[in-house]
Chain A
Amino acid sequence: SYVLTQPPSVSVAPGQTARITCGGNNIGSKSVHWYQQKPGQAPVLVVYDDSDRPSGIPERFSGSNSGNTATLTISRVEAGDEADYYCQVWDSSSDQNVVFGGGTKLTVL
């Protein structure tokens, strides 16, 4: 089955840019979706189809996807962005279609 690899943690100072990666074999050929999860809450979709934002998500959240790596970029990081972030793809090559990365804890210093 398809495997997505994320770094366990990323740290960034307020106002700086955070980049969270999601690695997978030829992930650039798939659509990648990103979720934010704060403690005790359900996940929230923040980026879909590599780089689109649902309504209500700040423009500070953006995404890219090429080759073997997809990236979630959070510009002008705020304290409220501290959360776990998960990437997800649809793997049509198996019956385990919905695949999540292991998650990345974003810490705002």
Chain B
Amino acid sequence: QVELVESGGGLVKPGGSLRLSCAASGFTFSDYYMNWIRQAPGKGLEWVSYISSSGTAIYYADSVKGRFTISRDNARSSLYLQMNSLRAEDTAVYYCARLDTAMVKYWGQGTLVTVSS
């Protein structure tokens, strides 16, 4: 069965950095595009970034462009999100999610990132 497990969330001060990880299992990781999607407390879903199966195509939401970097290690079946220059508005649960032909079929349970002084 497909499993996505995020880690790396926590409390960080404004301007700080954090690196999220997602460990994937139950499928051939290198065959799939992968996403990060976030949800601020009490708010809706916001797509953050996706990366192609080979890692050659990468896109970001305008709200994180230039501050966040998505990457993957297919040998380790892992997805990453390096978050720099964090702001209060980046506070959210961050979900790792598999992209299946333009839909998100599998989601992790999420990891909470809190940006606060």
Contact = CB atoms under 8 A, between A and B. Distances in A.
A59 interface: no
Interface string B76-117: 000000000000000000010001001111011110000000
Q: Is the interface of A mostly helix, strand, loop or mixed?
A: strand
Contacts of B95: 42-43
A89 to B, nearest CB: 8
A103 interface: yes
Interface residues of A, number: 25
Summarize B's interface: helix, strand, loop or mixed: strand
Contact of A86 (B44, B105, B108): B44
Interface string A88-108: 111000011111111100000
B62 interface: yes
Contacts of A43: 45, 95, 104, 107
B107 A98 contact: no
